[in-house]
Structure 1
Amino acid sequence: MSRLGLAIAMLVACAPAWASPLTHTEAEQLSSVRAPFAVTREHVTDDIYHYQFDIRVGSTPNARVRIHRVVRELAPWRPRPTQRAVMLLHGDFANFVTNFMPSLGNPASSAPGLAPYLVSRGIDTWGVDRRWTLPTADGDISDMGEMGVNQALGDTAVALAFARSTRTVTDRDPGRIVLGGFSHGAQLTYAYAAADGRHVSAIAALDIYYDLAPEDADLRAFACANAEAERDALAQGVTDSSNSFFITAGLLARSAPLEPSPLFPSYTNRGVLLTLAGQTWLLAPYTHTYHLSAPLLDADGNVSAMRESSEDRVSAWFASAPPHQALREAADFDDIWCGTSPRPELSNIRVPLFYLGAASGFGDHGLYSTTRVSSTDVTTLVIRRFGPDRVAEDFGHGDLLYAEDAPTLAWRPFAAWLLRH
C-alpha cells in the first residue's frame, strides 16, 4: 500500500481523536468505514493525478462510498498541499468522472473537465459517487430501493469527514471545506447544508432550484406529478430508473450518426442527440426552454447543430452514463420541489453561497432559492449569451461543464469565489 493509503488506513482505523477540529460525532461518521479499502491512482494531465477510494460502509451489495480526489503531486502519492478544498456532487446519468473529469470517462471526452481546472488553480478537488452509479449493467441492484436522498446525505457526510481527515494528514489542514454540486448534485448540496452542514465552510449550487418561486406554480405542479408517479412505481416494486436511453443515444450518435434511430425512427441517431440535448424541455420541462446544450435552430425551429458544446462532448457524456439510477432518489428530489413532504429548509443555511446558473438551464429560476437562505454572503451568476427573445438558443445546463467557453465564462468566476472562501 502507498504511503498515502497507509496513512489513511491508520487514520480510519483509529478514528482520529488527534484531529481536534473533528467533533466526536464527526469521528463517529468515520467509524462506519471498514478497512481495508481499495485505492487507485491514475494520471490526468501534467502533474495532476486522480485518486479513487472505494470504502465499504455496510453489508448490502452496493454499500460502498466511492470518493474521488484530484490533486497536483510533489511525488507519487504525495499531494501538493493546498489551503482551499471543494467536494463536488454529480448530477443525473453521470458520476464524478463523467461530470467533472470527462477525459477519463468511457468513452473519453475531449472536454478538459472542471476538476483539473480547479486543481491547476490551487484548489484540492474531491467528489463522491452516489451508490446507484456503482453496479454494472448486469450487476446486483437488490439494494437499489434504499438509495434515496437520506442515504446520499449520510454518504456525503462520510465522504466529507474522510476528506477532512485525509487533508489533515497530507495538507496539515483539518478545516472545513466547500461543498458544491451540479444539477441534482446541487439540490443534494442544498439539502445537506440545510439538514446537517457539518464539515462545510460554504456551498456552491451549479444550476438548480430547491425552493420554487410563487410564479413557478406550473413547475411545482410538474414536480408533484412526477413525484406521485414515481411513488406509485416504487409501490409496485420498481426501483431502477435505467439510463439505457441516454447510453444508447450517445453511443449511436458516435458510431452511426446518419443511420435511422431505433429510439425515434423518424430521426437519425445524430438528430436524436441534437434534439435530446438542444430541446430537452420536450421531455423534461424543468423550465419552459430547458435544454442541456445550447442549440442552433433552423428556420423550422429544429436543432441543426450544437452552439456551445461539441457533439463529441455531449455524446460522450450520454454514452458514459452509469447503467442504473435510483428511482427513490428521483422521487425524493421531486418531493422536495413539490414541497408536500417534510424536507430540510433553506433558512437553516448560514454559510456563504455561490449560485452559478445557465440561462436556459435552471438559470434565473434558481435565483429564488438563494433568497431563502439565512446566509449574509450570497453570490449569484447566470451565464447568458442573448436577451430574453433568444432564450431558447442560450447557454444550456450541461454547457456549464462541457462548453468550449466554459473555462472562461463559468469556471474562472467559480474558482475565484472558491479561492476567497
Structure 2
Amino acid sequence: MFRIGLAIAVLVACAPALASPLARIEAEQLASVGTPLAVKREHVTDDIYHYQYDIRVGSTPNARLRIHRVVRELSPWRPRPTRQAVMLLHGDFANFVTNFVPSLGNPASSAPGLAPYLASRGIDAWGVDRRWTLPGDDGDISDLGDMSVNQAIGDTSVALAFARVMRTLSDRDPGRIVLGGFSHGAQLTYAYAAADGRHISAIAALDIYYDIAPEDADLRELACANAAAGRDALAQGVTDSSNSLFITAGQLARSAPDETSPLFPSYTNHGVLLTLSGMTWLLAPYTPLYHLSAPIFDADGNVEGLRESSEDIVSAWFASAPPHQSMRETADFDDIWCGTTPRPELAKIRVPLFYLGAAGGFGDHGLYSTTRVSSTDVTTLVVRRFGPERVAEDFGHGDLLYAADAPTLAWKPLAAWLLRH
C-alpha cells in the first residue's frame, strides 16, 4: 500500500509535465484518490485474479469507494499488461462482485462472470461499488440520504482516475478507459458521459434507457410517478430503498424452497423466486413485460421454471444483495427518465457507444437513447430468442450476466467491440 501511495504521489507531482493523455488527468483529482485503506487479492480462475482497493473519499461513515480489478497475472501482484480496459458499473441490489464476478459472492455462484471472461480475452476489467453497498462501522447509514446520482458521477470520476494511475504503473498505459454499466449502472454510464466524460474513450450500456421514446409515454408517466413517490419518501426522512425483498427471496429459495413464503403466502419460497425473476413486470414494469430472467410458463400462466439462467444462480444473485440502497439515487434515476428536471443531456456524448439489450428486459425500448447521442460510432445489439409475440418468455435483463448462453450471445460481441475501442 505504501508503494502504491508513493507512486500516486509522484504521478500527481509530475502530472503537469507528463505527455498526453496522462497530463490531462487533473492533478487535484489524483490527489483526492489517496492511499488505499486496504488492498485485497484473490484467485478467480486459471491465471485470473481479483484485486480490491478501498479508498477513503470523505469523512462520513460511507465515504469510501471499493474499486475492483480483474486481470490476468504474470506473477503474484503483477498484472499482465493489456491495451484495452473497461470500468464496469453495477446495477440495483448488487455490487461489482455479485454482478460481474459472482463466483466470489456470498453465497458463491456457479456463473462464470463477465469480468473474468473479458480478462481472459485481454481486457483489463475494472469496477467500482457505489457508496450504499458499503455500510459504515456497525452498519451506520446516516449519510445514505446524501448519496445522489451527482455524487455517484463524482465517485466514478475518482475511480476512473485511480484505474488510469494503476494502469500507468502496471501497464505503462495512461490512456482513457471504456466506461460500461449494467441496468442502472448503464444509466449512470450515460449520465457520466454526458455530464463529465473525463477519462473515458467510449461507453457501453447494458440494457437500459436514458431518454424514453415518445411512443413510450406510459413508461415516462410511471417514472414520473415513481420519482414523486421517492421525493415524498425522502421528505418524510426515508433514505433507505431496502433490498430485503430480494435478499429474503433468494435466501429462502435456497434454504427452504418448498415451504410457504412469508413474503407472499399464496406461493412457496421457490414460487416467489420464479415469479419475482420471471414476471418482474408485476412489481417493476420498466417495460410492459419486463423480467429479470426468461420464464417458462405452465398452462395456467404461472412460472414453472427459468429458461436461460439456473435457479441456483438467480437465487445466489438475490441472496447476495447489499442490504441498503440509496432512496435519493433511486429518485434521481427516475427523475432522469421523467425528464422534467435538469439532467445531463445525451447530445453531449460524442464518444463511441455500444448498446447491448435483452429482448425481455429494456431491449428495443433502449434503442431510442442511442439515437439521441452525438456519437458517429454507435453499435446496437438486442439479444433475443423469439419474435415480438413471445417477448414475455424472451432473454431477460439479468440473463445478460447469468444465462448459460450469455458468453456466446452477449459477452462475445461486447468483447469484440471493446477490443476495437
How do 1:367-386 residues align onto structure 2 when only pairs under 5 Å count?
Answer: 367-386=367-386
- Kept in 1, the 8 Å contact 2:36–2:53? The answer is no
Match of 1:318 in 2: 318
Cα deviations by residue, 1:150-192 (Å, 9 ceiling, x for unpaired): 1100000000000011101100100001000000000000000
Cα deviations by residue, 1:82-108 (Å, 9 ceiling, x for unpaired): 000000000000000000000000000
Match of 1:169 in 2: 169
Distance 2:30 2:137 in 1: 30
Match of 1:155 in 2: 155
Structure 1 counterpart SS, 2:264: coil
Match of 1:12 in 2: 8
Match of 2:205 in 1: 205
Structure 1 residue 65 displacement after superposition = 1.3
Match of 1:104 in 2: 104
How do 1:60-71 residues align onto structure 2 when only pairs under 5 Å count?
Answer: 60-71=60-71
Structure 1 counterpart SS, 2:221: helix
Match of 1:388 in 2: 388
Structure 1 residue 300 displacement after superposition = 1.1
- Kept in 1, the 8 Å contact 2:5–2:34? The answer is no
Distance 1:138 1:239 in 2: 17
- Kept in 2, the 8 Å contact 1:61–1:140? The answer is yes
Distance 2:372 2:14 in 1: 37
Matched AA of 2:254: R
Distance 1:166 1:24 in 2: 16
Structure 1 residue 12 displacement after superposition = 2.6
When structure 1 is superposed on structure 2, of 371-380 and 29-38 the one drifting more is 29-38
Match of 1:216 in 2: 216
Query: Structure 1 residue runs of 4+, over 4 Å off?
Result: none
Distance 2:138 2:322 in 1: 12
Q: Cα–Cα, structure 1 residues 16 and 414, in superposed 2: closer, same or farther, change >3 Å?
A: farther
Matched AA of 1:151: Q
Match of 1:78 in 2: 78
Q: Cα–Cα, structure 1 residues 346 and 121, in superposed 2: closer, same or farther, change >3 Å?
A: same
Structure 1 gaps, min length 5 = none
Structure 1 residue 22 displacement after superposition = 3.0
Distance 1:16 1:320 in 2: 41
> Is residue 46 from structure 1 mapped to residue 46 from structure 2 by the alignment?
yes
Return the TM-score normalized by structure 1: 0.97
Structure 1 residue 361 displacement after superposition = 0.2
- Kept in 2, the 8 Å contact 1:363–1:382? The answer is yes
Match of 2:309 in 1: 309
Distance 2:37 2:13 in 1: 17
Distance 1:402 1:224 in 2: 30
Instruction: Report the identity percentage.
Output: 82
Q: Cα–Cα, structure 1 residues 137 and 165, in superposed 2: closer, same or farther, change >3 Å?
A: closer
Matched AA of 1:96: F
Q: Cα–Cα, structure 1 residues 209 and 81, in superposed 2: closer, same or farther, change >3 Å?
A: same
Match of 2:241 in 1: 241
Structure 1 residue 29 displacement after superposition = 1.3
Distance 2:283 2:26 in 1: 41
Cα deviations by residue, 1:327-348 (Å, 9 ceiling, x for unpaired): 0000000000000110000000
Structure 1 residue 74 displacement after superposition = 0.5
Match of 1:260 in 2: 260
Match of 2:281 in 1: 281
Structure 2 gaps, min length 5 = none
Distance 1:231 1:26 in 2: 35
Cα deviations by residue, 1:213-237 (Å, 9 ceiling, x for unpaired): 0000000000000000000110111
Structure 1 counterpart SS, 2:50: strand
Structure 2 counterpart SS, 1:32: helix
Return the TM-score normalized by structure 2: 0.97
Q: Cα–Cα, structure 1 residues 403 and 214, in superposed 2: closer, same or farther, change >3 Å?
A: same
- Kept in 2, the 8 Å contact 1:361–1:396? The answer is yes
Tell me the number of residue pairs that the alignment of Structure 1 and Structure 2 aligns.
417
Distance 1:81 1:345 in 2: 35
Structure 1 residue 136 displacement after superposition = 7.0
Matched AA of 2:14: A
Structure 1 residue 7 displacement after superposition = 3.9
Cα deviations by residue, 1:59-79 (Å, 9 ceiling, x for unpaired): 000110110001110010000
Cα deviations by residue, 1:108-135 (Å, 9 ceiling, x for unpaired): 0010000000000000000000000001
Distance 1:238 1:33 in 2: 31
Structure 1 residue 26 displacement after superposition = 2.4
Matched AA of 2:9: A
Q: Cα–Cα, structure 1 residues 249 and 195, in superposed 2: closer, same or farther, change >3 Å?
A: same
- Kept in 2, the 8 Å contact 1:7–1:169? The answer is no
Cα deviations by residue, 1:361-391 (Å, 9 ceiling, x for unpaired): 0000000000000000000000000001111
Structure 1 residue 25 displacement after superposition = 5.8
Structure 2 counterpart SS, 1:86: strand
Distance 2:72 2:347 in 1: 37
Structure 1 residue 27 displacement after superposition = 2.3
Distance 2:77 2:368 in 1: 43
Distance 1:340 1:11 in 2: 45
Match of 2:28 in 1: 28
- Kept in 1, the 8 Å contact 2:400–2:406? The answer is yes
Distance 2:39 2:192 in 1: 26
Distance 2:362 2:136 in 1: 31
- Kept in 2, the 8 Å contact 1:384–1:394? The answer is yes
Distance 2:127 2:381 in 1: 23
Structure 2 counterpart SS, 1:234: helix
When structure 1 is superposed on structure 2, of 182-191 and 16-25 the one drifting more is 16-25
Match of 1:181 in 2: 181
